[in-house]
Chains A and B, each alone.
Chain A
Amino acid sequence: MVTWAAFPRADFRFTAGAPAAFASSPGVRRWFCPRCGAQLAFDQDGDPSMDVSAATLDDAASVAPDRHIWTSSALPWLRLDDHLPREPKETPRP
């Protein structure tokens, strides 16, 4: 389970270190710290946003999520305490 906070890529930059990227699919980059393994961000070709893993923000409380995606793959025993819309896959956003 990951909570992504999407930002325009122009408004995002790494300020320290050299993160590693793993291409989990063609054109996709999952950014992580090669020293500790922390999962940091996700972006892909043709998408103007950088998705940051909200849990790594210094102030994670500031970015409440507004939907669930890929619930078709959710663990059967995991019930989150929220009333957010749930999407079996992912509906693209404008």
Chain B
Amino acid sequence: MTFRQAGGCLCGAVRYEITEQPTHNGYCHCRLCRRATGAPVFAGVSFRRSGFRLTRGEPKRYRSSERAFRHFCGDCGSPLFFEPLDAPEFWEVLVGSLDDASWVEMKTHIFTASRIPWFDVRDDLPRSLGWRDPERHKDKPQGY
């Protein structure tokens, strides 16, 4: 079955489409993600870079750490993508930017140690206090 989902920013200057199934969907409660989005939790859909293309406009990007860029629309500010420089074949799209996010099935929570005390999601998904695989990310314990 053909997979196709599209999305974009609030003002419509940046549009994208995804043509491959996501590899992972998850929540990140880390402080950097909260600050970068203004949301109490980051909800993202991961996909292969090969299955993603911009269809309109060009986002701005901000280097939130030495290991990642965060992309957003320079006109309206909508946060759009997360680009990890140490795994460049995988990007994350913010769930809120998808035209239709009803199909997304979240899989995990990470960095729950940083969770805002008054905010939580009611589910039975696996949770980790930091990274899912701390060994792989041991040189960046606080995230990207």
- Any chain B CB within 8 A of the CB of A40? yes
Chain A interface residue count, CB cutoff 8 Å, equals: 32
Chain A 73-88 against B: per-residue CB contact (8 Å), 1 yes, 0 no? Answer: 0011111111000000
Task: Evaluate contact between A77 and B106: CB separation under 8 angstroms.
Answer: yes
Stretch of B16-24, B32-40, B83-91, B131-139 with 4 or more beta carbons under 8 angstroms from chain A: B32-40
Task: Evaluate contact between A39 and B79: CB separation under 8 angstroms.
Answer: yes
Which residues in A have their C-beta under 8 angstroms from that of B1?
none
Task: Evaluate contact between A75 and B37: CB separation under 8 angstroms.
Answer: no
Task: Evaluate contact between A77 and B105: CB separation under 8 angstroms.
Answer: yes
How close is A60's CB to chain B, nearest CB, in angstroms?
5
How close is B133's CB to chain A, nearest CB, in angstroms?
25
Q: How many angstroms from the CA of A81 to the CA of B122 in the assembled complex? A: 5
* Top 10 closest pairs, chain A to chain B, by CB: A37-B72, A32-B77, A39-B38, A53-B38, A64-B118, A36-B62, A81-B122, A81-B120, A22-B76, A55-B34
